[in-house]
Amino acid sequence: MRRLALIAALLLAVLPARAQGVLNVYNWTDYIDPHVVQRFQQESGIRIRYDVYDSLETLEGKLSAGRSGYDIVVPTSEPSFARLVRAGALLPLDRAKIPNWRNLDAGLMERVARSDPGNAHGAIYLWGTVGLGLRLDKIRALAPDLALDSLDLLLKPENAKRLAGCGLAVMDSVTDVLPSVLRWLGRDPDSADAGDLRAAESALLAIRPQLRAIPGSGALLDMLATGEVCVALTYSGDVIQAAARAREAGRGVEIGYAAPKAGPHMSFDMLAIPADAPNPAAAHAFIDFLLRPDVIAAVSSHVRYPNAVPASRPLIAEAVRTDPNVYPPESVLAEAFVPGTPGPQAERLRSRLWSRFRAGR
């Protein structure tokens, strides 16, 4: 009996994460390769409980209440991750427990350091841009003369009226939509100026009668894939996923993506650990696992979003790694912007603006 007890004690010392049982993950909808989840469970002995959300507002609402019960969350760098960092809602990462941290792209990590000084609380999981999801076959039939690489396609009322018959949509996220609208207007995407915000609201309300829906990103992905909408302002990776689903369905729905030529909103989704996480040891192990080149390559291949581990690039499916919509050329990245976090007053103004837009008044 003593011998068995000694063996058990040694196993617990060597494999502490295995002894801790369950890892609670809260991530975006359709944002991981299920085989990666299974692989981690098999390799670590840790069971994963996996929940999903489809907007930053949902994630922040869950975490702001406290005691969420999650060990891993995946907030976007600005503004959600930045706000959580400032609020002390995230645990500083112990890099000694994440040896694969060295695999991260230093340049990309520098882009998110403004949200998290010293990159103390998060590692980049995946990243992308905000732009236009397009049902190309319908647009060519209705308006072959319109340029596809500008938000003019959606935000100019005369264009919205021409295309309304095939379905227009804007994702339900003031966080991700408003900076692009402000940039399109030639204003600062981070502006807290009441005049700038009124101009953005006017632009959105001008096309509101033509919109078929203002759905969450997960629902919008499905609407694109089935051809229910032909122009949508949403995440690049969701559009690329929708295009793949449409091809698989074989119903003649042709989906494409266009990053705004004036410079797209660039966003980073961060692997982070809530300050009150019940299982931080398992969370560190999961982050380290995801930063392995072969593992994150499988994720990028499946969800069609780029990652921040350069060594993974040759391992990603060729159709994904060579797609300029997944990995934009340097010329596009040079014009891209990463929005900042609005202050409390600006946040209230933006929230009220969005409520009026959704209501159409």
Task: Summarize pLDDT for 99-116 with one digit per residue, the tens.
Answer: 999 999 999 999 999 889
State the pLDDT at residue 185.
96
Asked if residue 53 has pLDDT above 50, the reply is yes
Average pLDDT over residues 325-348: 87
Average pLDDT over residues 63-69: 80
> How many Å apart are CA 289 and CA 225, to the nearest integer?
31
Q: Where are the domains of the chain?
A: 2-122+272-291, 130-264+338-359
Q: CA-to-CA distance for 8 and 26, rounded, in angstroms?
A: 32
Give me the phi and psi of 48, to 5 degrees please: -105, 130
Check residue 5 and give its pLDDT.
37
Q: CATH topology of 2-122+272-291 equal to that of 130-264+338-359?
A: yes
Cα separation, 194 vs 350, in Å, equals 10
- Per-residue model confidence as pLDDT tens digits over 178-204: 999 999 999 999 999 999 999 999 999
- pLDDT tens, residue by residue, 134-175: 999 999 999 999 999 899 999 999 999 999 999 999 999 998
The CATH superfamily of 2-122+272-291 is Periplasmic binding protein-like II (3.40.190.10)
What percent of the residues of the chain are helix, what percent strand, and what percent coil, each to the nearest 5?
55, 15, 30
Percent of the chain with pLDDT over 70: 94
pLDDT at 18: 43
Record the pTM. Answer: 0.81
- Mean pLDDT across 229-236: 95
Q: Is the pLDDT of residue 42 over 70?
A: yes
* Residue 8 confidence (pLDDT) above 50: no
Q: What is the pLDDT of residue 20?
A: 56
User: Tell me, which fold does domain 130-264+338-359 have in CATH?
Assistant: D-Maltodextrin-Binding Protein; domain 2 (3.40.190)
